Amino acid sequence: MENIKAQVKFMSEIENKEIIEEAEEQAKKIVSNAEKEALRIRNQKTLEVSERLHEKEISDLEGALLEQKKRISNVRSQLLDEVIAEATTILEKMGHDSDPRYRTSLRKLIIEASTRVQACDLEILTNSRDKVFVKSKLVELTKDISRLKGMPVILKISKDELDTQGGTIVLDKNKRQIFNNTFEARLVEAKDELMSQISMILFEGLED
């Protein structure tokens, strides 16, 4: 009799143990599935955030770098303008003071312009201030230009006057060929010709 009771109890205990084990197994599966799903969601959402951030970073940093380039370029351009303005002031002063360096230069500029014009009958234009000086050197200039061109030239000073800080314009008799060797024209030329060299001098060794 006691044996039967013990058997009933034993069977029941086995059944109960199985119920709990099965429940625990099921619970484990539920939690494990949920954790897998949670991990998938987390990964996906984190990836979305990281993609949004990446796009924002690219756009913001590109903008910032562009702004940097613009600002540096403006500073450089301003400095180049300052250098040109300073050079212009020096040249103006030279012309006004009839500096010997300027006088030598004016002769050179007249000779250069005259040799560039393919004619023998030439007219020289300058500002009113330089006219007197050129007149005093006309014979000498005619000789030099004739020698350089390899033919005799007739050099005249125009009645007209230029509104220029310095330099000259030389033209032929028919006014078909004109060579502008004024300071203003040469400054424009200098900007084109020397800009890269000047940039090198000013900004050499500095990163972009």
Of residues 187 through 206, those in contact with another protein by CB under 8 A are 187, 189-190, 193-194, 197-198, 201-206
50 vs 118, which CB is nearer to another protein?
A: 50
Instruction: Pull the structure tokens for residue 112.
Output: 């250069």
Q: What does the alpha-carbon distance between residue 51 and residue 57 come to, in Å, rounded to a whole number?
A: 10
Q: Which of 46, 77, 98, 118 binds another protein (CB under 8 A)?
A: 46
Number of chain positions touching another protein (CB under 8 A): 79
**Phi, psi angles (nearest 5°) of residue 20:** -65, -45
Stretch that binds another protein, among 23-31, 114-122, 137-145, 156-164 (CB under 8 A): 23-31
Stretch that binds another protein, among 15-23, 122-130, 138-146, 148-156 (CB under 8 A): 15-23
Told to check if 56 binds another protein by CB under 8 A, we report: yes
Side chain identity, residue 48: E
Told to check if 129 binds another protein by CB under 8 A, we report: no
Asked if residue 184 lies in contact with residue 165, where contact means CB atoms within 8 angstroms, the answer is yes
Nearest residue to 164 via CA among 102, 75, 82, 104: 102
Told to check if 86 binds another protein by CB under 8 A, we report: yes
Told to check if 151 binds another protein by CB under 8 A, we report: no
33 vs 118, which CB is nearer to another protein?
A: 33
What 3-state DSSP class applies to 154? Answer: strand
Told to check if 55 binds another protein by CB under 8 A, we report: no
Burial of 183 (0-12, 13-18, 19+ CB in 10 A): buried
154 vs 200, which CB is nearer to another protein?
A: 200
Strands (E), 63-112: none
**Phi, psi angles (nearest 5°) of residue 175:** 60, 30
